[in-house]
Structure 1
């Protein structure tokens, strides 16, 4: 880093340091206006990692009592490259906004998508739901399912169901169904129930970038949701044929 540039001078300390926005902002501060960085962001803010201000690349600070590192050196370096790509894309795309942990993405055809991101648990969820599911997500990660405590068990199941779900601005037609947007003319008068975008990348940041790019592109994401809806309906039909009066042991899954 040249003497004329110091990433510390670029940091906006009004941003909540516990938010995902701050994590991406730190990377932006070290790269966006850095004269040593060309087209591809490459500078990692190592100083802030040592000060425990940077949670990436892992997403949280591992315990000093861990017997082995959470990431190998190679894994850590690859994740850093992946996060640099995500941060650069977010910074350079006007249709993306990040408010603390909540993304808002406007697609090229006008669709609006919103979701929360958890760097710690490596997943996205419906907007403004991360705080509500935090304890359950921590239990799941630590293997403490608490099935013997019904309230905790239900909370864990709700967190699992919320994982990978995003919110769209599609028009609700009642009974939990929403219509496809007007620009997807092939799905006119059709509807879907849930908007879950399953990760496709080799790492969480790679999956996040791929998903955000889908939302910006605003076409293929609807094809994915349509295929998921067809699969859901087929599964329901098969379930009803097999257990027309309901599965006898459903109470075990409450």
Structure 2
């Protein structure tokens, strides 16, 4: 469990706590279609929670894809709507998104706030990064700096400017020129010489974004291999 013993709140569940047992809240009542910023992973999570209330109550794997609301987001348009003639690749991509969204929702080590995902590792170190759905990247740069709020007669719209300066980066709690945490085999206590307050972790070639995001979250929670790999990169840079 996280060392601070604080259980992260369950995203999108606030309204679910107000209902009677086994009562489902219609998705349209849980989702603020007109004013929520669906560029933010927090509000996208609310969409997935709204459609998987029964699975959450019963402790089952999430398997219900939102009917249309992902059109409001920057999700890949190929997966917005379930179609009878969807390819196996598209079906697999939806399944991966459901899996990683449930993982984020259920994990006591993960917190989501706006664009930002924060992870507390099993050994007490912290990691953070913002999520962008188009292009599909994680970044240590604050997404708020790239997104502008626009008010019109229909509600609130959000428009972003890209590109990012530092895609595929995540921040961490050790600061720059850090000493490797003592629990890390082989490298524990080792001084680094070319490290920053962030590290670059790109998704593997051919990997999908939701699958890569899931792997990154597991790496941060593990809180060990991520440091060993970074230390080895630092050693290679010195040599």
Give the aligned CA root-mean-square deviation in angstroms. 3.1
1:108 matched to 2:129? The reply is no
1:103 is paired with a residue of what secondary structure? strand
Instruction: Tell me the equivalent position of 1:248.
Output: none
Instruction: Tell me the equivalent position of 1:219.
Output: 224
CA distance in 2, matches of 1:182, 1:205: 31
Q: Which has the higher helix share?
A: 1
Instruction: Tell me the equivalent position of 1:252.
Output: none
User: Taking structure 2 as the reference length, what is the TM-score of the superposition?
Assistant: 0.69
1:56 to 75, 83, 86: 75
1:135 matched to 2:129? The reply is no
Map 1:1-254 onto structure 2 (within 5 A): 5-8=24-27, 11=30, 13=32, 16-34=37-55, 39-49=60-70, 52-58=71-77, 73-129=87-143, 131-132=145-146, 135-137=161-163, 159=165, 162-172=166-176, 177-184=177-184, 186-191=187-192, 192-194=194-196, 195-200=199-204, 202-234=207-239
Kindly state the Cα deviation for residue 11 of structure 1 after the two structures are TM-superposed. 2.1
Kindly state the Cα deviation for residue 213 of structure 1 after the two structures are TM-superposed. 0.6
Query: Comparing both chains, which one has the higher relative contact order based on Cα–Cα distances under 8 Å and sequence gaps of 6 or more?
Result: 2
CA distance in 2, matches of 1:216, 1:35: 22
2:210 is paired with a residue of what secondary structure? helix
User: Taking structure 1 as the reference length, what is the TM-score of the superposition?
Assistant: 0.65
Change (3 A) 1:4 1:187: closer
Instruction: Tell me the equivalent position of 1:150.
Output: none
CA distance in 2, matches of 1:203, 1:130: 25
Q: Which has the higher strand share?
A: 2
CA distance in 1, matches of 2:182, 2:37: 38
Unpaired runs of 5+ in structure 1? 62-71, 138-157, 235-254
Kindly state the Cα deviation for residue 225 of structure 1 after the two structures are TM-superposed. 1.1
Kindly state the Cα deviation for residue 199 of structure 1 after the two structures are TM-superposed. 1.3
The size of the alignment, in residue pairs, is 194
Deviation sequence 1:181-216 (CA, Å, 0-9, x none): 343363314125141122137201100000001101
Whether contact under 8 Å (2:115, 2:143) holds in the other structure is no
Kindly state the Cα deviation for residue 37 of structure 1 after the two structures are TM-superposed. 6.5
Whether contact under 8 Å (1:165, 1:196) holds in the other structure is yes
Whether contact under 8 Å (2:39, 2:73) holds in the other structure is no
CA distance in 1, matches of 2:188, 2:227: 9
Change (3 A) 1:190 1:59: farther
CA distance in 2, matches of 1:83, 1:34: 15
Kindly state the Cα deviation for residue 4 of structure 1 after the two structures are TM-superposed. 5.8
Change (3 A) 1:11 1:118: same
